Structure 1
Amino acid sequence: MTSSAQFVAHTLASLMNEPGKPRLTWYGADYERIELSGAVLNNWINKTTNLLVEEFDAEASIEFALDLPAHWRLIVWTLATLRSGATAHIGPSTSSDVAALITDRPSDKQAPEIVAVSLHALARRFDGELPAGAIDAASAVMTYSDGLGFVSITDETQTALAFPTESISYADLPQWAANTPAASGGRVLIRCNSESPQQLLPLLHNVLGIYSAGGSVIIMGAAAAAEITDDSERFQRIVESERVDTVIELG
């Protein structure tokens, strides 16, 4: 039986059970579609984890603020933070103790360390103004190894995910992930119907449930959801072409 301390590592390792299988699919504005297989998603998570460890000494007691919208990159940065054993504050953090603020809007943020994340599909650098000393994630992440480097042993007593209304410890993470309908696995489409930050908790809740059950995630961002609001036929074509088993509506 997998212990709570091993839950994240075990869940992410399961992505490689079928490395060519789609695990994370994103629908964005203007018909944008990105698909990451288990192997590719695993590489992204490993690279990002390595950055967090090598740049910020990520481990238990280290905290990161993830100020990102409902997007496939939020999934990668959250899973990487969890793999490092650190705490992920989802949304703008009120804590002064965060090791870094990870955001797609660095120009209007103040923090000791800032990591700028581009939301563009194939971005090689951040397209915008960067504060002095900020790390450009688009270029920096790619310099790290596809293989996971050193990570500390997970401390089950530490907070894994901190939301404005709820916090989940590493000890409680397995049961929390299992306590969602999405934990049945399969191909699950999560449709985000607004830009509300309140969607981030159920989004990540369902994603962890899906992956812990060996399933695949399809995320439809708010822009894509708005584009097909009055086009039920197009939405149905997506559901059929992606072989969706379950649709979850957020917002």
Structure 2
Amino acid sequence: MNASDRTPADLLRSALAADPARPLVTFYDDATGERVELSVATFANWVAKTANLLQGELSAAPGDRLALLLPAHWQTAVWLLAASSVGVVVEVGGDPADADLVVAGPEKLEAGLACSGERIALSLAPLGRRFPAPPAGYADYAVEVPSQGDRFAPFVPVDPEAPALVVDGKEHSGAQLVAQARVDAAALGLAPGSRLLSGLGFDSWEGLSTGLYAPLAAGGSVVLCRNLDRLAPDALEKRVESERVTGTAL
């Protein structure tokens, strides 16, 4: 990655310029048997569409607060990078009542209704399927995002020193986030081409870093596993081997 990268969106742009075809996020849900692999280019396309949805359809602006009520999931990673692209502050597990908009999964839909702003629901079903009908009070992400543009440009340049993420009660600017991700990547021994398997949740900095930011900062990739406790130890060993994993965070 480039030394000049100062936001997560910068890191993604550098990854796209360096090698768009390489895997970036491989996602497993061991409750459903789902496996999804996204190249840098495919992931960046999802991020661009989601950022266009945020900025255009939802009228989100730099400094707006987004309560992110989603588990560790590839679509959660997309939302984190899309918010960074716009300058929206993501509050992981934040209070919807204090947020400008909320993004919620099936288990958090009722809680998300406390948000008086825009509400987006994700089914988190395999293949990104839509809900049979949009949940009351929400727009369905799977319905709204496909028609969005494949290229994104912010209306206002994102300030790397502005707040970007709140997790574990601590606020991080984009620049702080990138700097810490680089420190974490070095501590984990990550380098270009490294492949880190993470079974940690996204409700802590450690989980977010190992599940997205540190591999991205290192020029590596992540094998993100949800419901890993459903997997037998020998099956995990086989996954590590088949996915060419170079390190784990469990």
After the TM superposition, which residues 140-159 of structure 1 pair with which residues of structure 2 at under 5 Å, given as runs? 140-159=144-163
Structure 2 partner of 1:93 = 95
Structure 1 partner of 2:22 = 21
With normalisation by structure 2, the TM-score equals 0.86
Q: Determine the C-alpha separation between the residues in 1 that align with 2:134 and 2:48.
A: 27
- For the pair 1:188 / 2:196, whether they are aligned, the reply is yes
In structure 2, the gaps of 5 or more residues are: none
Deviation readout 1:121-140 (Å, 9 max, x if unpaired): 224422465123x2210110
Aligned partner of residue 155 in structure 1, secondary structure: coil
Shift of 1:235: 0.9
Q: Does the Cα contact within 8 Å between 1:66 and 1:102 map onto a contact in 2?
A: yes
Q: Determine the C-alpha separation between the residues in 1 that align with 2:9 and 2:62.
A: 15
Name the count of aligned residue pairs: 238
Q: Does the Cα contact within 8 Å between 1:158 and 1:170 map onto a contact in 2?
A: yes
In structure 1, the gaps of 5 or more residues are: none
Q: Determine the C-alpha separation between the residues in 2 that align with 1:139 and 1:86.
A: 22
- Identical aligned residues as a percent: 29
Counterpart residue identity of residue 198, structure 2: I
After the TM superposition, which residues 1-251 of structure 1 pair with which residues of structure 2 at under 5 Å, given as runs? 2-3=3-4, 6-16=6-16, 17-28=18-29, 29-93=31-95, 96=98, 98-105=99-106, 106-110=109-113, 111-112=115-116, 113-127=118-132, 130-132=135-137, 134-180=138-184, 181-182=187-188, 184-185=190-191, 186-192=194-200, 198=203, 200-206=204-210, 207-222=212-227, 225-228=228-231, 231-249=232-250
Q: Does the Cα contact within 8 Å between 2:7 and 2:84 map onto a contact in 1?
A: no
Q: Determine the C-alpha separation between the residues in 1 that align with 2:124 and 2:224.
A: 14
Structure 1 segments of 4+ aligned residues over 4 angstroms from their partners: 1-4
Counterpart residue identity of residue 91, structure 2: H
Deviation readout 1:99-128 (Å, 9 max, x if unpaired): 210001324532122101120122442246
Aligned partner of residue 216 in structure 2, secondary structure: helix
With normalisation by structure 1, the TM-score equals 0.86
Shift of 1:169: 1.4
Q: Determine the C-alpha separation between the residues in 2 that align with 1:22 and 1:189.
A: 13
Q: CA RMSD in A?
A: 2.1
Deviation readout 1:32-59 (Å, 9 max, x if unpaired): 1111111110100110011111123333
